Structure 1
């Protein structure tokens, strides 16, 4: 029993660190997609926002990424896709 408790205590910080790492990577990807969007690279930004949603479906930036997908489609004049995304 004592061995199990020690293992659990050792694993807990690792799980926390991994969870924190995911949010850092999600933020980097979101900023990268935003930089592409600001440069007018809407197709590339669209791909990165979709990748963010795929990799981090429960992430903090998913709602913003979905909104930005709509904005990308709008700027690409793909209005039906934009409406569906919004």
Structure 2
């Protein structure tokens, strides 16, 4: 799915559903952390992090560390996880 399609889908979401989804997401995230913190840990190999560094360095023109890449991966996956939850609610 292209980013423009994803952005269009999120723009079409109703404001009430988004607010409820964000509340539910925050509430669910708290439960997941309390119940099983190790289940949320994701293993990302060094090769994937290096590819992420190369991609984002080329796009931003900045030098990035593997920690920066790990945070990018976590943020992007979190974004798509929330989009999937919103899609299920609609």
Task: Tell me the TM-score normalized by structure 2.
Answer: 0.26
Task: Tell me the TM-score normalized by structure 1.
Answer: 0.27
